[in-house]
Amino acid sequence: MRSRLTRSEHAYLAESRVCRIASVGADGWVHAAPLCHAYDEQRRVVYVGIDRGGRTARNLRARPRATVVCDDYYEDWQRIRGLVARARTHTVRPGAELELARRLLKAKFRQYRTYDLDYVVALRVERVTSWGL
């Protein structure tokens, strides 16, 4: 894994429709959840709106590290592509960052336009590896 993202990795994070967020629970087990995300390239941050009482939110509050996975599978294995990133996380507090996260998520997913995105987690990408990009 490396710290610098390529241009194609930034683009892929921005364009991908679903990511999987892996977090670790108090029992030591890994929990993975498929989520819709938005990416801020300047900050290198993936934003996800989640249920504040859900397992992912609880895990990330207790242990603010996660792995983010985006991938595309094809029967033609020459076309398979994806990205794995390690990230530090924080709950986005009310203010400018929350407004930015809401704007990005609502612009990317029309379904969010009717949601009250009151709980958003920011995942700042620190290390990355990818294939097929």
- Measured between alpha carbons, how far is 76 from 132 in angstroms, rounded to an integer? 12
Size of the chain in residues = 133
Within a 10 A sphere around the Cβ of 97, how many other Cβ atoms? 17
Instruction: State the 10-residue block means of pLDDT for the chain, 133 residues long.
Output: 96 97 96 98 97 97 98 96 98 97 97 92 98 97
| pLDDT computed for residue 64 by the predictor | 98
The domains found in the chain, sorted by start residue, are 7-126 (2.30.110.10)
| pLDDT computed for residue 116 by the predictor | 86
- Measured between alpha carbons, how far is 88 from 38 in angstroms, rounded to an integer? 16
| pLDDT computed for residue 47 by the predictor | 98
Per residue, the 3-state secondary structure of 81-121, as one string, reads EEEEEEEEEEECCCCHHHHHHHHHHHHHCHHHHHCCCCCEE
| pLDDT computed for residue 104 by the predictor | 97
Residue 82: which residues within 8 A CB-CB, separation 6 or more?
69, 70, 71, 72, 130, 131, 132, 133
Within a 10 A sphere around the Cβ of 30, how many other Cβ atoms? 10
CB-based contact 39:128 (threshold 8 Å):
no
CB-based contact 49:120 (threshold 8 Å):
yes
